[in-house]
């Protein structure tokens, strides 16, 4: 597909996902040769109407230069003229071309798989009415011939990449641990603004059809108890599990997932310990299902002052004036930054599948939190999910979060870079209301 047509589809994807009726397009798109039966079956099995519309638009981009005008023609035939106007608003004109009936297209009979034979021997297996494609293809080959020639097997395999099943109701459990007030003996400062983060995540995952439970100000032992209780639940009727931890953090030695988060008593629990509770061995009812962990905590004590970039990379940065971090110790000064929740800067290559751990900051660095608006990471994550969950997969949305948070600056000086350890095997699309 031409790049300008891909751009149109991407810019109008939300409109297509919200308003398109994909079921009315299957027959015309098949008759016009845009999709084959296997691809249509894959789209139908992708889930809700929105899921099918999203998959159809994504697969359409891989289907050659004639796919876009044939898609517009199919929309017109199915009575979805309004979407054509939406797509072509401000776009270059697209020529509608008559589609040749499939029945009259020449059919190439497959060559037998046997010992090599010379050209004369091979020629008897070819339909004499079908032009033979040569190695040095003539520049005069028509677009119609180019598009409808047999496609490589690898392309079909790429198109069949699956999405996680995410249609249970509710979709799964979401546990939020919000440690905002720390005991004096912990020598950790209170995390002003953390309650705002907790409320945002509770509303967001309720909207994404999760059963949400919020636990506030837990000691290390209590954190372990709640996490263990969640991992031992029967998740067989659900499709996903989410854990969100808002706390101070620190660096620890690790062999898989870096970092640790603190209980309000000043004792920490490692991220590796948390994820191990939910792996396929310890939580069989979540085998093959996505386990998502969002960690708002510092990654260390370093403050990132950023690097100079070329004008092309320069974006307007947001300057946050009342920022704190979640590392240790926190100064008692009202002007100080709270320390970030630290994660270990050393990494290894973990092997668990279907696990994603999203960190608010790069290992070794602080994570910034505004005492009135909440943390940079959670505020941005919440907004990206609200705006894009209907059309984009989780990995793509986390990349958006990374980009937006990287544009912020604390006191006009310090930066932050979120990141994730992603061991998901499929696309993950959240449920959204119709």
Cα–Cα dist 322/404, whole Å: 18
225 as an active site residue: the answer is no
Catalytic residue among 5, 248, 254, 268: 248
Rounded Cα distance between 122 and 99, Å, is 32
Comparing CA positions, the residue from 225, 221, 220 lying closest to residue 175 is 225
Which of the residues 171, 241, 283, 298 is marked catalytic? 298
Q: In what order do the strands lie in the sheet with 260-262?
A: 249-250, 260-262, 268-270
State the SS3 of the chain: CCHHHHHHHHHCHHHHHHHCCHHHCHHHHHHCCCCCHHHHHHHHCCCCHHHHHHHHHHHHCCCCCCHHHHHHHHHHHCCCHHHHHHHHCCCCCCCCCCCCCHHHCCCCCCCCCCCCCCHHHHHCCCCCCCCCCCCCCCCCCCHHHHHHCCCCHHHHHHHCCCECCCCCCCCEEEEEEECCCCCHHHCCCCCCCHHHHHHHHHHHHHHCCEEEEEEECCCHHHHHHHHHHHHCCCCCCCCEEEEEEECCEECCCCCCCCCEEECCCCCEEEHHHHHHHCCCCCCHHHCCCCEEEEEECCCCCECECCCCCCHHHCCCCEEECCEEECCCCCCCCCCCCCCCECCCCCCCCCCCCCEEEEECCCCCECCEEECCCEEHHHHHHHHHHHHHCCCCCHHHHHHHHHHHHHCEEECCCEECCCEEEECCCCECCCCCCC
Told to judge if 130 belongs to the known catalytic residues of this protein, a careful annotator would answer no
**Active centre residues (catalytic):** 248, 298
């Amino acid at each position: 597909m031409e790049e300008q047509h891909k751009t149109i589809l991407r810019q109008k994807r939300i409109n297509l996902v919200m308003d398109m009726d994909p079921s009315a397009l299957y027959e015309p798109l098949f008759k016009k040769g845009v999709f084959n039966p296997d691809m249509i079956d894959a789209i139908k099995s992708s889930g809700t109407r929105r899921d099918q519309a999203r998959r159809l638009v994504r697969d359409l981009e891989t289907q050659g230069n004639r796919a876009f005008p044939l898609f517009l023609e199919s929309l017109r035939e199915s009575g979805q003229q309004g979407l054509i106007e939406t797509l072509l608003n401000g776009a270059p004109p697209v020529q509608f071309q008559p589609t040749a009936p499939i029945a009259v297209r020449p059919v190439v009979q497959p060559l037998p798989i046997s010992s090599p034979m010379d050209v004369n021997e091979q020629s008897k297996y070819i339909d004499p009415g079908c032009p033979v494609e040569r190695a040095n293809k003539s520049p005069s080959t028509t677009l119609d011939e180019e598009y409808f020639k047999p496609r490589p097997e690898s392309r079909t395999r790429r198109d069949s990449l699956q999405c996680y099943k995410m249609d249970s109701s509710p979709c799964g459990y979401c546990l939020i641990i919000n440690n905002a007030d720390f005991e004096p003996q912990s020598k950790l400062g209170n995390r002003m603004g953390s309650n705002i983060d907790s409320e945002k995540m509770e509303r967001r995952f309720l909207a994404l059809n999760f059963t949400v439970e919020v636990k506030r100000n837990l000691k290390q032992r209590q954190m372990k108890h709640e996490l263990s209780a969640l991992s031992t639940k029967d998740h067989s009727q659900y499709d996903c599990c989410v854990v969100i931890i808002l706390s101070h953090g620190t660096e620890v030695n690790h062999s898989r997932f870096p970092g640790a988060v603190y209980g309000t008593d000043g004792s920490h629990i490692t991220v590796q310990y948390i994820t191990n509770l939910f792996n396929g061995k310890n939580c069989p009812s979540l085998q093959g299902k996505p386990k998502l962990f969002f960690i708002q905590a510092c990654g260390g004590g370093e403050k990132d002052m950023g690097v100079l970039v070329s004008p092309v990379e320069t974006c307007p940065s947001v300057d946050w004036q009342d920022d704190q971090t979640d590392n240790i110790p926190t100064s008692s000064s009202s002007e100080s930054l709270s320390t970030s929740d630290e994660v270990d800067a050393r990494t290894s290559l973990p092997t668990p599948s279907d696990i994603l751990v999203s960190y608010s900051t790069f290992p070794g660095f602080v994570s910034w939190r505004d005492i009135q608006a909440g943390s940079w990471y959670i505020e941005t994550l919440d907004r990206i999910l609200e705006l894009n969950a209907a059309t984009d997969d989780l990995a793509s949305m986390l990349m958006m979060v990374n980009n937006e948070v990287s544009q912020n600056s604390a006191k006009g000086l310090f930066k932050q870079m979120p990141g994730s350890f992603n061991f998901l095997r499929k696309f993950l699309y959240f449920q959204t209301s119709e």
